[in-house]
Amino acid sequence: MKYFFACLVCVFLVATGFNVKNKLTHEPQTRPNILWITCEDMSFHLGCYGSKLAKTPHLDELAANGTRYTRAFTTAGVCAPSRSAIITGMYQQSIGTHNMRTLAASAAAKEAYPSGFKGYSAVVPEEVKCFSEYLREGGYYCTNNSKEDYQFVAPSTAWDESSNKAHWRNRPDKNQPFFAIFNFTTTHESQVWVRAKEPLLVKPEEVEVPPYYPDTPEVRLDIARHLSNVMVMDQQAGNILQQLKEDGLEQNTIVFFFSDHGDGLPFVKREVLDRGLRVPFIIKNPFDNKKNVVDNQMISFVDLAPTMLSLANIPVPKYMQGQAFLGGQKAKNPRQFVFAARDRMDSEYDRVRTVRDDRYRYVRNYMPEKPHYQNIGYRLQQPSMQSILRLKEEGKLNPTQMQWFRPTKAVEELYDCDKDPFEFNNLAENPAYQPQLTKLRKVYNDWIQKVGDMAQEPEMDMVKRWWGGKDEPPLTQTPQILPKSSKIALSCATKGASIGYKKHWEEPSWKVYTQPISVTSGDSLYVIAHRIGYTKSNIVTQKF
């Protein structure tokens, strides 16, 4: 009987991704594949979340065969800072990736940027890596199709493939576990005007207009276009799920679906309120066999990196600020609070921080003298935004619709998200809510003290400090190739640099260097090093 139960335990460990021989030894058959299907700028417009107009059968089926999460939150209401937190497991303002966006000025507002602004790749702390690099070290084939947008240039070691052709099907060993991302831009803010001539799948007269919008033809049309784009995205997601099925991989692949933040519509995207931060989030895990489950636990996007490593049975680095919510390293205590930040948006500066528990949201405004609304050039391309501004100038917006255009902000805000889902009624000065205000103020102060906030420093001063006072980033030092016993060791004097190597130039990707490697006579070794935020090193070549 003891032998029988021991066998059952072994079978369970293998099925859930654990290697029963050694925690740090990875064999393909013992680890799950992980697939992310992600979209951009989309709130809860799926049938499984109650949407009546947008028909999303493929993602609804995914939810019916898995778990639908109701309290998943991004760390920013806009993509690049949010993606930085996803790929690093670190809050963006704690590592200098908080301003939207860093690599280049927005083409729609270049003339509005402060004098002296120049694009830069953020120099994150030396210990911080893309979590996909840890997966690659552990034997995973990692693909990204195809947007990165991390606020820094990813090292060559981050991905096996990162392009619009990246796919798990390209891995040379079909038994190798994979981590694959397919990111669909179909629902992005820009697609409201870019796809203006495509057939509408939702009738404008049938859409529900939120109370913060005036009911105009332009507003209705933009909402209908966005919902139509959601339906197109669902079909694209269905195609990927069908490919997974065709390859016979459904039973050993954990599938995630989520949006990078809320709707790409006015007064939604870029906001650090529920409508900008709370997103659809679905997981189908064949190893737990949960079906049609609703999970109300709080999840932050900063938790994604440690959770992926936990599922892959790869140790989670201690520096990561998120916590795993699945896998062998799942946190003992569920998350009680989620945090988010808002900083420069294209050319417009602001600094807002927020914390939310299961009911209340606390907001801290560090620039209360600034208006709520920011005249962001990119957003002005949206017809509904033009319509809203026209009616504002004509004095035809009601008090609710004028809330966005308040000339100043309160230093503190508090909202009851259950009773006030649009977060219009600031309770911070209401005596009845002082216990909630005091509690969340302390939670916020403790959090920001713990993780840090680099937005206290002017942006270009921060960049100058990273660059040692120079006008360009430091260069990652040239890696060294050194003999070590019967093998070859690689090193780089730049702290925090990732080292990649190839034995043949034609190899499609750089391998991640972790320990001395074997070479044989006739091999040619190519080596590159890159610390995030620095310029990549020169490539070193040696023939044996």
Write out pLDDT tens, residues 246-278: 999 999 999 999 999 999 999 999 999 999 999
The last residue of a domain, from among 466, 501, 535: 466
Q: Is residue 370 part of a domain?
A: yes
Specify the CATH number for the domain of residue 235.
3.40.720.10
Beta bridge partners of 360: 416
- Does the pLDDT value for residue 535 go beyond 80? yes
Together in a domain, 288 and 387: no
Q: What is the pLDDT of residue 182?
A: 98
Helical residues (DSSP H) of 20-166, grouped into ranges: 57-64, 79-88, 92-95, 131-137
The last residue of a domain, from among 420, 435, 466: 466
Q: Is residue 120 part of a domain?
A: yes
Q: What is the pLDDT of residue 112?
A: 86
* Residue range 519-539: mean pLDDT, rounded: 95
Q: Is residue 427 part of a domain?
A: yes
Q: Is residue 11 part of a domain?
A: no
Q: What is the chain's mean pLDDT, rounded?
A: 94
Higher pLDDT pick, 21 / 87:
87
CB atoms within 10 A of CB 369: 8
Together in a domain, 145 and 101: yes
Q: Is residue 343 part of a domain?
A: no
Q: What is the pLDDT of residue 486?
A: 87
Together in a domain, 189 and 293: yes
Together in a domain, 293 and 205: yes
Q: What is the pLDDT of residue 328?
A: 97
The two structure tokens encoding residue 540: 């070193």
Higher pLDDT pick, 27 / 121:
121
Together in a domain, 389 and 365: yes
The last residue of a domain, from among 418, 440, 466: 466
Q: What is the pLDDT of residues 433-490, one digit of tens each?
A: 999 999 999 999 999 999 999 999 999 999 999 999 999 999 999 999 999 888 999 9
Q: Are 211 and 422 in contact (CB under 8 A)?
A: yes
Together in a domain, 383 and 300: no
Instruction: Domain of residue 37: give its range.
Output: 33-330
* Residue range 218-244: mean pLDDT, rounded: 98
- The set of catalytic residues is 79
Is residue 199 very low, low, confident or very high in pLDDT (cuts 50, 70, 90)?
Answer: very high
Q: How far is CA 179 from CA 15, 270, 308, 312, 511, in A?
A: 17, 29, 9, 10, 16
Would the pTM of this model clear 0.85, i.e. be above it? yes
- Does the pLDDT value for residue 532 go beyond 80? yes
Is residue 216 very low, low, confident or very high in pLDDT (cuts 50, 70, 90)?
Answer: very high
Q: Is residue 152 part of a domain?
A: yes
- Does the pLDDT value for residue 397 go beyond 70? yes
Q: What is the pLDDT of residues 351-382, one digit of tens each?
A: 999 999 999 999 999 999 999 999 999 999 99
Is residue 130 very low, low, confident or very high in pLDDT (cuts 50, 70, 90)?
Answer: very high
* Non-local CB neighbours of 3 within 8 Å, separated by 6+ positions: none
Count structural domains, the chain: 3
Q: What is the pLDDT of residue 26?
A: 40
Together in a domain, 323 and 432: no
- Does the pLDDT value for residue 4 go beyond 70? no
Instruction: Quickly tell me which residue has 């049975």 as its tokens.
Output: 313
The two structure tokens encoding residue 526: 């190519």
